[in-house]
Amino acid sequence: MGTIYSDLLSAKAKKQKQLAVLLDPDKIDWEHTEHLIRKIKQSPATHIFVGGSLLLTNVLDQLVALLKQQLDLPILLFPGNVSQITPRADGILFLSLLSGRNPDYLIGQQVLAAPILQQTSLEIISTAYILIESGKQTTVSYVSNTLPIPADKPEIVLATALAGTMIGHKLVYLEAGSGAERKVDPETIRLIASNIQVPLIVGGGIRSRSAMEEAYEAGADLVVIGTAFEKDNNFFDYKKA
């Protein structure tokens, strides 16, 4: 078992909540990377996720190299597709979009990625990725050409998460979508957390400290913050108080 995953398991066992800052390579302000790195260092982040639904720029390698050089946190790829792989990261969330019925995001991209990943030493962490409806259509729903699970159908989310763990996925990720209007309902988080043994990741539309705490209290083991930190690099400053 890889180090990143075994650390996630031991953090879960000790009820130590984890926090990932999601960086989208397309949205990095290259004039101010020193500031970005300083703010990440000052934050409670335990992991860095790198990725996005699109990759319009050619800076993934450069960004991951910078993060590896400057930060002492595990850098995990969170790829929107097979083009978002670099051997410079520490690991990859090997996602299957189980909420959707598009074979390309269930197995197609993974087949294309596997021979590339075999040539790297990236830690590969198989992840049941579950998109939940959250207001207006999200980029991930549009780009993946899949429907999210209706937010008022937690039983479908649960059945999907259970299927994911039975298939053998090592993480479950409940995703509202980046910049979502509505985050994942804490009751849905609670239901899933109480029925699975693997670590539970929750992200999408979490824009406040209280929303983070709510997700943790409901049973999220790791919360992902993307847009809120991207829009305001001081988002985590409460930690200094």
User: Which residues form the interface with ligand 1GP (CB under 6 A)?
Assistant: 22, 175, 178-180, 203-206, 224-228
CB of 132 to ligand 1GP, least distance (A): 11
Residue type, 79: P
Strand partners, 125: 93
CB of 78 to ligand 1GP, least distance (A): 7
CB of 227 to ligand 1GP, least distance (A): 3
- Of the candidates 77, 172, 82, the residue with the CA atom closest to the CA atom of residue 132: 172
Residue number with CB closer to ligand 1GP (85 or 224) = 224
Residue number with CB closer to ligand 1GP (81 or 227) = 227
* Token code pair at residue 179: 């910049």
Q: How far is CA 137 from CA 96, 132, 154, 178, 223, in A?
A: 20, 11, 19, 11, 21
Strand partners, 225: 21
CB of 206 to ligand 1GP, least distance (A): 6
Q: Say which residues have a Cβ less than 8 Å from residue 112's Cβ, sequence separation at least 6.
A: 82
Residue number with CB closer to ligand 1GP (22 or 118) = 22
How far apart CA 128 and CA 211 sit, in angstroms, is 23
CB of 219 to ligand 1GP, least distance (A): 16
22 among the known binding-site residues?
no
CB of 203 to ligand 1GP, least distance (A): 2
Strand partners, 77: 50, 92
How far apart CA 158 and CA 131 sit, in angstroms, is 12
Residue number with CB closer to ligand 1GP (175 or 185) = 175
241 among the known binding-site residues?
no
Residue number with CB closer to ligand 1GP (188 or 227) = 227
Residue number with CB closer to ligand 1GP (184 or 198) = 184
165 among the known binding-site residues?
no
203 among the known binding-site residues?
no
Q: How far is CA 115 from CA 112, 120, 135, 178, 214, in A?
A: 7, 9, 37, 29, 40
- Of the candidates 150, 88, 95, the residue with the CA atom closest to the CA atom of residue 128: 95
179 among the known binding-site residues?
yes
6 among the known binding-site residues?
no
* Token code pair at residue 105: 């995001």
131 among the known binding-site residues?
no
Residue showing the smallest CB distance to ligand 1GP in the complex: 203
Which residues sit in the known binding site for Mg(2+)? 24, 53
Which residues sit in the known binding site for sn-glycerol 1-phosphate? 173-179, 204-205, 226-227
